[in-house]
Amino acid sequence: MKAIKPLTYLLIIVPLFLSNVISQEIDDEPDPFDIPMTDSPIQSDEIPMNLEEDFREDTLGDERANQKERIGKIYIKGKATVVDGDTITIDNTKIRFSGIDAPESYYYGLTQYCERPNGKIWACGKKATAALKKLIGKHEVECTDEGQDRYGRTLGICYVDEVDLQAEMVKSGMAIAYLRYSRRYENEQNYAKKVKAGMWAGEFKEPEVWRRENRD
């Protein structure tokens, strides 16, 4: 057997040694994907501060957008004078509630009456007016612009401290949902029927029918 020359030996040994050193250094480096579960923001019980702030900011942004959209539709706000169960006046502007119809308190000199379960008659028109006055109290009223009806009257959906006055009148049975024009308050009317609130406790004519019969 021939002896291995020193130069040949070095050419074999040195590369092997360098290979082992490089391999050992690589093994000693931390794996960037080897993160303990407790250090992972996804596994942590607490949301990282930056994500929490982003979430809060997004939520506030949505609230501001909704508020801006609603305020953009408000065209009048102030102290209101109640005309009847579905009409008010603010700053000399008469506003007819959109989507509901209340019994008449004064129509060509007449007041609408309804019948109780025991057969007794009651002035539902005047009671509706009184109910709306009680709802509003001394608060300011704000109304959206819903255009005009066929008589040229200003239509609006009106609120007191975020409370929908139309919905409250229908839910209490002191007005009906004007389904011929809008189904906005149909659920409130179904509730009033179910619990026999206000006019639904007895017999009554729909205000539109009563007006037609008592016109002129």
> 158-160 and 87-90: which strand pairing?
unpaired
pTM over 0.85: no
Asked if residue 71 has pLDDT above 50, the reply is: no
Q: Which of 56-65, 136-145, 164-173 has the lowest mean pLDDT?
A: 56-65
Cα gap 47→51, rounded to integer Å: 6
pLDDT of 174 > 90? The answer is: yes
Q: Is the pLDDT of residue 72 over 50?
A: no
Segment 33-68, tens digit of pLDDT: 343 433 333 333 333 444 444 434 444 444 444 444
**What is the per-residue pLDDT for 153?**
87
Domains and CATH numbers, the chain: 75-214 (2.40.50.90)
Residues 77 and 124 sit within 8 Å (Cβ to Cβ):
no
Count of other CB atoms within 10 angstroms of residue 133: 14
3-state DSSP helix/strand/coil percent for the chain, to nearest 5?
45, 20, 35
pLDDT surpasses 80 at 194 = yes
pLDDT at 149: 86
- Residues 14 and 10: their CA atoms lie apart, in Å, by 6
Is residue 70 scored above 60 in pLDDT? no
